[in-house]
């Protein structure tokens, strides 16, 4: 509701991507110009205590000041940017930092780019400082350059290296990790999902019924359309398989119960491709427990605090539980996909429309319009089949998510 208020409509990059009220980032830091509390960003609870994410759209020219209000108020130390400023001739994100060695002013905030290095051919690291009311706050931005919009990175190691660097920079700091792309959904959702699963792994919360699908659906109860395309969803499986393999090679165990420890893959993924079937120790098609608390936290202290902790803001309303569909992906040699439960090239939908199986990147967006009959085309079942041609405004949560 907050995102569809008339004064906030212009702050959304896309009319059909609005944060849920119960998990949206609320601003209270005064910055002049009306000081609305709205920004198109969502709080996502992590897999471990004290681990949180802010999933945000890339700032617009009219929301850069709000973007820095959010960074300052929530004491953000690490920012992960998963898009370029311009892609395919279109503005994807407004520049919110200054050129190297210079400073720029955004409302009451003065931002200086103190250092800039190219950590890898895919990641640029910027050390930024922001000054507000004569107080200075430092942060690090990791700008990942090899992730085209609507697509996936060419390889998994680049993303794993990005996440490792971000975790190292975050250290023991309890502030949220700020992740954004253009809309704050697809690429942002993949990064949050991978880091969420990494935390499950290192804290030995991977159970025999671990499910990537439930992780993604859990994120989607907090940020709309997190993980937006079929290829992005499949990419999570590839990266997680690589993550698990590296963890096992380093001598780690996936489970706290030794009797449950068995190989992750029945055969080498390098030779036969990734096979996601119910024959492995941590089959990537079961269920994962939701470890984040479902209760709202204590209310924030009165008055506009200069900086807020996410644990102070709380989340109103009960946590939505996400039901899952029996949905499995399987990749075989040569990159062909099978096991999609008989998805045909053309299927009639309940509303009389036609659902086309994804044949190109343009068709891999899911239909965000309400669908009265559950099907593989509906958002609740992660069909990833239809792209929205014309945004139709905010949509209700799927019925499955409203059921207690």
Q: Which residues belong to the active site?
A: 181
Cα 185-53-241 angle, rounded to 5 deg = 70
Tokens 């200069």 belong to residue: 306
Max CA pair span of the chain = 62
The residues, any chain, with a CB within 8 Å of residue 189's CB and separated by 6 or more, are 55, 216, 219, 220, 223, 225, 226, 227, 228, 232
User: What residues contact 234, with CB distance under 8 A and at least 6 apart?
Assistant: 152, 329, 331, 337
Place of tokens 């601003």: 27
109-118/24-26 β-pairing: unpaired
- Quick check: helix, strand or coil at residue 140? strand
Q: Identify the sign of the CA torsion 287, 152, 11, 46.
A: positive
Task: List strands edge to edge, sheet with 78-81.
Answer: 24-26, 38-45, 52-56, 177-180, 78-81, 135-144, 123-132, 109-118, 103-106
CA distance 35 to 100: 30
Q: Within 10 A of 252 (CB to CB), how many other CB atoms are there? A: 12
User: What is d(CA 242, CA 146) in angstroms, rounded to the nearest whole number?
Assistant: 19
For 194, the token pair is 């991978």
CA distance 353 to 22: 33
What is the rounded distance in angstroms from the CA atom of residue 145 to the CA atom of residue 84? 6
**Structure tokens given for 217:** 């659906």
**155-170 exposure pattern, b = at least 16 Cβ within 10 A, e = fewer:** ebebbbbbbebbeebb
């Amino acid at each position: 509701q907050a995102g569809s208020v008339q004064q906030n409509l212009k702050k959304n990059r896309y009319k059909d991507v609005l944060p849920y009220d119960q998990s949206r980032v609320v601003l209270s830091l005064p910055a002049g110009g009306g000081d609305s509390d709205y920004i198109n960003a969502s709080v996502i609870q992590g897999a471990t205590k004290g681990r949180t994410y802010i999933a945000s759209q890339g700032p617009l020219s009219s929301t850069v000041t709000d973007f820095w209000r959010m960074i300052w108020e929530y004491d953000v130390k690490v920012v992960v940017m998963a898009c370029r400023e311009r892609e395919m001739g279109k503005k994807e994100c407004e520049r919110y930092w200054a050129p190297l060695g210079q400073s720029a002013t955004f409302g009451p905030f003065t931002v200086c780019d103190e250092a800039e290095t190219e950590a890898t051919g895919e990641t640029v690291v910027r050390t930024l400082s922001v000054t507000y009311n004569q107080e200075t706050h430092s942060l690090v931005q990791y700008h990942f350059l090899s992730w085209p919009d609507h697509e996936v990175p060419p390889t998994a190691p680049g993303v794993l290296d990005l996440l490792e660097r971000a975790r190292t920079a975050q250290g023991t700091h309890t502030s949220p990790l700020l992740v954004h792309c253009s809309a704050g959904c697809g690429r942002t959702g993949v990064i949050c999902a991978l880091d969420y699963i990494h935390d499950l792994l290192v804290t030995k919360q991977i159970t025999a019924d671990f499910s990537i699908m439930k992780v993604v659906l859990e994120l989607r109860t907090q940020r709309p359309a997190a993980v937006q395309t079929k290829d992005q969803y499949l990419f999570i499986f590839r990266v997680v398989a690589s993550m698990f393999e590296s963890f096992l090679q380093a001598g780690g165990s996936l489970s706290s119960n030794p009797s449950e420890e068995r190989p992750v893959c029945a055969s080498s993924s390098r030779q036969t491709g990734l096979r996601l079937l119910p024959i492995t120790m941590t089959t990537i098609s079961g269920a994962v427990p939701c470890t984040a608390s479902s209760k709202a936290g204590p209310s924030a202290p009165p008055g506009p605090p200069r900086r807020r902790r996410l644990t102070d803001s709380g989340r109103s309303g009960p946590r939505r539980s996400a039901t899952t569909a029996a949905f499995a992906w399987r990749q075989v040699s040569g990159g062909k996909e099978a096991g999609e439960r008989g998805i045909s090239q053309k299927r009639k939908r309940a509303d009389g429309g036609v659902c086309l199986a994804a044949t190109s990147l343009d068709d891999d967006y899911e239909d965000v319009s309400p669908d009265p009959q559950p099907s593989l085309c509906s958002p609740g079942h992660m069909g990833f089949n239809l792209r929205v041609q014309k945004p139709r405004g905010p949509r209700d949560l799927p019925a499955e998510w409203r059921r207690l």
